[in-house]
Structure 1
Amino acid sequence: MTTTEDWIRTAREVAAKLAVDAVERDRANETPYQEVQLLKDSGLVTLLGPVEHGGGGQTWETAYRVIREVARGDGSIGQLLGYHYLWAWAARLVATDEQIAVVEELYTRDKLFFGGAVNPRDSDLTITEDGDELVYRGHKSFSTGSKVSDLTVLEGVLEGTGDHVFAIVPSKQEGIVFHDDWDNIGQRLTESGSVTINDVRVPWSSAAGYVDKKFRPLTYNTLNVPTIQLVFTNFYLGIAQGALDTALAYTRDNTRAWPYGGDNKESAGEEWYILDGYGDLQAKLWAAEALTDKVGAEISQVLHAPREELTPEARGEVAVRIAAAKQRVIDTGLEIGTRIFELTGARASATKYGLDLFWRNLRTHSLHDPVAYKRREVGAYALLGQLPEPTWYT
């Protein structure tokens, strides 16, 4: 695969395979080993990896579209892939050039899959210093990717300081205990349960971005949140597109015209309220997609530019537009997830069709952080000219 179109085509092929039994797999709620293997076998996990190590050498603009396409077939797997891309890029966000080279060669060459135990709402993992090593201890209530990951990103605070330290460690080790307690109404196959970290040791040399035990900050370091917020936006958009695709197919094959309206039609395709409804939802989805693509191109340019060139102002400008895209996609997606039942008809509510899956998936993850704060960020920018300040959620 050498072009964006090649990667999108592959993502669509993967999505088509996932969509076949997405409803059944959601109900079974089993660890998605085969689904992640499909991502590896397709080559999608190395899309951002260096070409010299067998990666695709693609941009984030392409990665966002691939996430969206995969989520169109299965929202959970789209989320897993999106998080993988973010954590695979984590070294570039905060590490030194030497550390970046080591991490990118490792994960690209061996097609390793990333998970992450970085949940800002929990107390940070405690890090103690033991000679030339750092020792991580603590508990996180969410660790997306858990058992299907090969590598886990840890983050904690060095004891006696306020210094945050990121490190990438093997997922399969005695010191990492995944608790298999993720059983929510949506995004059920994301392996997002809690994790306990017991004496996981990392050499000081692997502490991301630290040189001689000192961190050298850049504005670029703060792109982790806008980057993943747009990951969210794209798999939300993919879920919404999947919902509309599925509803349209159902209506073509099964929905009957209403025979008691006084203007009776022969088929659902002639029924005015169905055409009006789908026209409204499709238009809103196209608008949300256009905004998401535009801001995806913007942040991709920033992410692939020299790290030292990023200014706080440029970072804030792209972050506020991501906030706008996210709120618009959430609102549109939830509306689609609800209104498709009005357009498909009563029989479509049978559990065998699984039309509720899309709403459950989007509703569950869109609670990650309050969308009202994203509206506030956009409002403060529009009215007051204020750019979002970097936080763990902004």
Structure 2
Amino acid sequence: MTLIDTPTHQHSSSRGATVPQARIARDAVFEQARRLAADFAATAVERDARGGTPKAERDALRASGLLSLSIPLEYGGIGANWRVTLDVVRLFGAADSSLAHVFGFHHLMLATTRLFGRASQWESWFEQTARRRWFWGNALNPLDTRTISRPQDGWHEFSGQKSFCSGALDSEMMIASAREAGSETLLVAAVPSARQGISIADDWNSIGQRQTDSGTVTFEKVRVEDHEILADPGPLSTPFACLRPLLAQLILTNVYLGIAESAFNDARYYTLHEARPWHASQVSAATEDPYILGQYGEFWVGLESVRVLAERAAERFDAAWRRGPALTEEERGSVALAVACAKVAAIRTGLDICTRMFEVAGARATHGSLRLDRHWRNLRTHTLHDPLAYKLRELGDWALTQTYPAPGFYS
């Protein structure tokens, strides 16, 4: 399958019309993703209660081939652009935000090798990931500086711990970071998850995102080879390399949007089928209550706004990605603003719907077995890792002084 931006050949449909090959491939990808999402949604409530590693679901993602979605065709992948990849993240987000998170971060880790490393590095990893159906996990977390790198003869020794290592359990490869001993230099490397000295703890027990395995990774004198260090061009060293945090923000934006859409759909079901009109409303059905209708109107405006902003940001990101090393600071800054707007809107709208959904769904929607509170728990858990106030400050700086956000791992 191929999901290229400009199709080069076409197929004839049964009605004689020509259909771009890229559209056929895109439809096939979403058909596959929708089947997976339906399966994920069917067990999401039970797995939210259980926590732990969603092994069967991760294996289903491996078998589907979608772990190669963002890998270019020439390396054995599907060749999707980021708009399509993010749409799949959003689709999974509505079914199970934990799986959307680790799926999206898998593609973020692959992109990290492309943005921070040499072609001789990432080409091989792309090919092996597509062929062997590797899952990539995260042990980067630049705010956790407990892991230290000490130079050796032709290699580096990583020792220390990392927290919030989403998807590290049950992964074949991971992106890890360490501070050079005696300096503030950050080294980022791609290493096999099963390498000697790497211990991945099953210690994630948050109120939300309960199956992201975002626990602790410990490095005990881990040997990291020079060719595994992503140093050319290196972390956040060029405008193109600085697309990495923007992709991370976009992935999360689409996870948040998926959560909000799922909460909306659950609320709508209970309003239509379970909610009873309040006695003072003087209407015969909850669907006729003007206050409930007004709230749904607010929900819909919020969702439509986030959808437009998220799609605009994805399109601008794709354009920047195609620019490659020729990307300028101004072009990167424009993408950063679009991503920040989408993320702020996704957080605000999502938290609003996940909180107020019970006002329109009725008291029966609070039954513990439904676990509809998981929408709020999932969104609230993740949005705390990047404070909204600082994202708004960046946008305010642009609005007032026309200053682009300074590149960093969160902007």
Could you state the TM-score of these two structures normalised by the residue count of structure 1?
0.94
Displacement of 1:182 = 1.0
Bigger Cα displacement from structure 2, 327-336 vs 45-54: 45-54
Share of identical aligned residues, percent? 37
Paired AA for residue 60 in structure 1: W
Is residue 102 from structure 1 mapped to residue 124 from structure 2 by the alignment? yes
Q: 1:332 pairs with 331, 345, 349, which one?
A: 349
Q: Distance in 1 between matches of 2:123 and 2:258?
A: 32
Q: 2:135 pairs with 87, 93, 113, which one?
A: 113
Bigger Cα displacement from structure 2, 350-359 vs 168-177: 168-177
Matched with 2:259 is: 239
Q: Distance in 2 between matches of 1:72 and 1:318?
A: 25
Q: Distance in 1 between matches of 2:280 and 2:182?
A: 74
- Per-residue CA distance 1:106-136 (angstroms, 9 max, x = gap): 1111110111111122115211222111211
Residues 68 and 234, structure 1, Cα contact 8 Å, conserved in 2: yes
Displacement of 1:37 = 1.0
Structure 1: any 5+ residue segments left out of the alignment? Answer: none
Q: 1:210 to 1:134 in 2, by over 3 A?
A: farther
Is residue 281 from structure 1 mapped to residue 302 from structure 2 by the alignment? no
Q: 1:159 pairs with 181, 190, 193, which one?
A: 181
- Per-residue CA distance 1:264-295 (angstroms, 9 max, x = gap): 22x33333322222122012101111111101
Bigger Cα displacement from structure 2, 3-12 vs 105-114: 3-12
Matched with 1:352 is: 369
Q: Distance in 1 between matches of 2:271 and 2:34?
A: 22
Matched with 1:381 is: 398
Q: Distance in 1 between matches of 2:331 and 2:103?
A: 27
Bigger Cα displacement from structure 2, 201-210 vs 31-40: 201-210
Q: Which SS does the other structure have where 1:331 is aligned?
A: helix
Is residue 264 from structure 1 mapped to residue 286 from structure 2 by the alignment? no
Q: 2:382 pairs with 356, 365, 380, which one?
A: 365
Is residue 13 from structure 1 mapped to residue 30 from structure 2 by the alignment? no
Is residue 4 from structure 1 mapped to residue 43 from structure 2 by the alignment? no
Q: Which SS does the other structure have where 1:152 is aligned?
A: strand
Matched with 2:313 is: 295
The 5 A counterparts of 1:137-156 are: 137-156=159-178
Q: 1:53 to 1:392 in 2, by over 3 A?
A: closer
Q: 2:249 pairs with 212, 229, 239, which one?
A: 229
The 5 A counterparts of 1:154-233 are: 154-210=176-232, 217-233=237-253
Q: Distance in 2 between matches of 1:338 and 1:215?
A: 38
Displacement of 1:231 = 0.8
Displacement of 1:392 = 2.2
Q: Which SS does the other structure have where 2:240 is aligned?
A: helix
Q: Which SS does the other structure have where 2:161 is aligned?
A: strand
Q: Distance in 2 between matches of 1:121 and 1:382?
A: 28
Bigger Cα displacement from structure 2, 18-27 vs 117-126: 117-126
- What number of residue pairs does the alignment pair up? 389
Q: 1:65 pairs with 70, 87, 91, which one?
A: 87
Q: Which SS does the other structure have where 1:243 is aligned?
A: helix
- Per-residue CA distance 1:43-99 (angstroms, 9 max, x = gap): 221101132443111111111111000010001111111111100111111111111
Displacement of 1:190 = 0.3
Residues 150 and 172, structure 1, Cα contact 8 Å, conserved in 2: yes
Bigger Cα displacement from structure 2, 67-76 vs 36-45: 36-45
Matched with 2:339 is: 322
Residues 321 and 378, structure 1, Cα contact 8 Å, conserved in 2: no
Q: Distance in 2 between matches of 1:78 and 1:335?
A: 21
Q: Distance in 1 between matches of 2:236 and 2:28?
A: 38
Residues 188 and 229, structure 2, Cα contact 8 Å, conserved in 1: yes
Displacement of 1:352 = 1.3
Bigger Cα displacement from structure 2, 120-129 vs 65-74: 120-129
Residues 142 and 194, structure 1, Cα contact 8 Å, conserved in 2: yes
Q: 1:218 to 1:345 in 2, by over 3 A?
A: same
Residues 50 and 105, structure 1, Cα contact 8 Å, conserved in 2: no
Displacement of 1:4 = 2.8
Residues 153 and 167, structure 1, Cα contact 8 Å, conserved in 2: yes
Q: Distance in 2 between matches of 1:334 and 1:5?
A: 31
- Per-residue CA distance 1:358-382 (angstroms, 9 max, x = gap): 0000000000111111111111101
Paired AA for residue 114 in structure 2: R
Q: Distance in 2 between matches of 1:162 and 1:277?
A: 50
Displacement of 1:215 = 9.0
Structure 2: any 5+ residue segments left out of the alignment? Answer: 3-24
Q: Which SS does the other structure have where 2:241 is aligned?
A: helix
- Per-residue CA distance 1:231-274 (angstroms, 9 max, x = gap): 1111000011111111112222212223332x222x33333322
Residues 59 and 304, structure 1, Cα contact 8 Å, conserved in 2: no
Displacement of 1:160 = 4.5
Q: Distance in 2 between matches of 1:184 and 1:60?
A: 29
Matched with 1:30 is: 52
Paired AA for residue 176 in structure 2: L
